[in-house]
Amino acid sequence: MILNGKEVALEIENNLKEIINKYNTKPVLVTIIVGNKIESITYVNMKLKACERVGIIGKRLELDENISEEDLINEIEKLNEYTSVSGILIQHPLPSHLNEQEIFNYIDPKKDVDGLNATSFGNVVMGLPSFVPATPGAIMAILKYYNIDLEGKKAVVVGRSNILGKPVAMLLLNANATVTICHSKTKDLDNILKEADVVVAALGKPRYIKASLLKKGSVIIDAGYNEGNIGDVDLDKIDESISYTPVPGGVGPVTIAKLLEQTVNAFERR
C-alpha cells in the first residue's frame, strides 16, 4: 500500500481552514531566511503558499547571509515580543558561521512551531505537551492516518539527527513501539532491518536501504529527500505486502501541514 502524504496533508489543511474561519483575526507565521540559496527560497515559497491556502498570514524575513549571530538573535527576540506573531520558523540549514542549535534556542517555545528549541525537544523526550519537529510530527501523522498500530512493534530509525532521527525515535517510543536507532557506526544493519515492523529512513543517502532487506508486511517511512527527488529507500522489487511512503508525495507535504497545524495551535493558545 502506498501511504499517500498528499491525502494526509489535505485532511489537515481542511481541518485548519475550519478552525481559522471561527476567528476574526488570523494566525501569523514568520519564516526567517538567511541568505539566498535556491533550495531554501523554494521551500519557503511552498510554506507561504500553504499558509495562503488555509488562511494563515505567512511572512518572510530575509536576512543577509553574512549576518552575525548577535544580529540574528536580536531579530528573533523582536518576533518573540510581537503578540501578533503566532509562530516563528528559521529556514535551515543556516550559513556555517552560525550555530544553528544555539539560535533555535532563542525562539520562544510558545512560538517554536518547528519544534527545534532544546526545551521543545526535552518535552518530547519526557512525553510532555510540546511542539514537535515538523518532519517527525508528519511521520506520526501518517502512521495515525493509516491506522498503523505501533504498540509493541519493532521500529527501526536509520539516522540520528537532532531534527529528525532522535525526535522521531522518541515519538515512536512514546507510542509504545520498541525502538532501535541505527547510524553510521551501527554494525549488522541489514539483519536489524530484516526484523523491523516499521522502518524510518532518515539518513540522507539516496536509495541506501534496499527493498530486499525489508520484512514482509512491514511499514516503510522514507523521510529522505535527495537530489533528483530520490528517497533513502530503493523500492525496486519491493514486496507487495509492504506499505511505504513515496518520494515525492509522502512525508514532505505532511511536514508543511504540521507546521501550519502547530502555528494554529500556537495562535489558539495565545
Distance of CA 113 to the CA centre of its chain: 10
Listing DSSP states for 127-188 in one string gives T-S----HHHHHHHHHHHHTT---TT-EEEEE---TTTHHHHHHHHHHTT-EEEEE-TT-S-
Per-residue pLDDT band for 226 (boundaries 50, 70, 90) equals: confident
pLDDT of residue 149: 97
For the segment 109-114, the average pLDDT, to the nearest whole number, is 96
pLDDT of residue 266: 97
With a cut of 90, say whether residue 182 has pLDDT above it: yes
What are the two backbone dihedrals, phi and then psi, of residue 106, each rounded to the nearest 5 degrees? -85, -10
pLDDT of residue 208: 95
For the segment 60-84, the average pLDDT, to the nearest whole number, is 97
pLDDT of residue 229: 86
Per-residue pLDDT band for 237 (boundaries 50, 70, 90) equals: confident
Catalytic residue list contains 262: no
The region of weakest confidence among 131-140, 221-230, 254-263 is 221-230
pTM of the model: 0.95
Separation between Cα atoms, residue 21 and residue 18, nearest integer Å: 5
Per-residue pLDDT band for 77 (boundaries 50, 70, 90) equals: very high
Catalytic residue list contains 47: yes
pLDDT of residue 120: 94
Catalytic residue among 111, 112, 114, 262: 114
pLDDT of residue 39: 87
Domains of the chain: 12-111 (3.40.50.10860), 134-252 (3.40.50.720)
Tens digit of pLDDT for each residue in 8-46?
999 999 999 999 999 999 999 999 999 998 889 999 999
Catalytic residue among 91, 111, 232, 262: 91
pLDDT of residue 268: 97
Catalytic residue among 47, 111, 166, 215: 47
Catalytic residue list contains 91: yes
* Residue 203: closest CA among 160, 240, 258, 248: 160
Listing DSSP states for 50-105 in one string gives HHHHHT-EEEEEEE-TT--HHHHHHHHHHHHH-TT--EEEE-SSPPTTS-HHHHHT
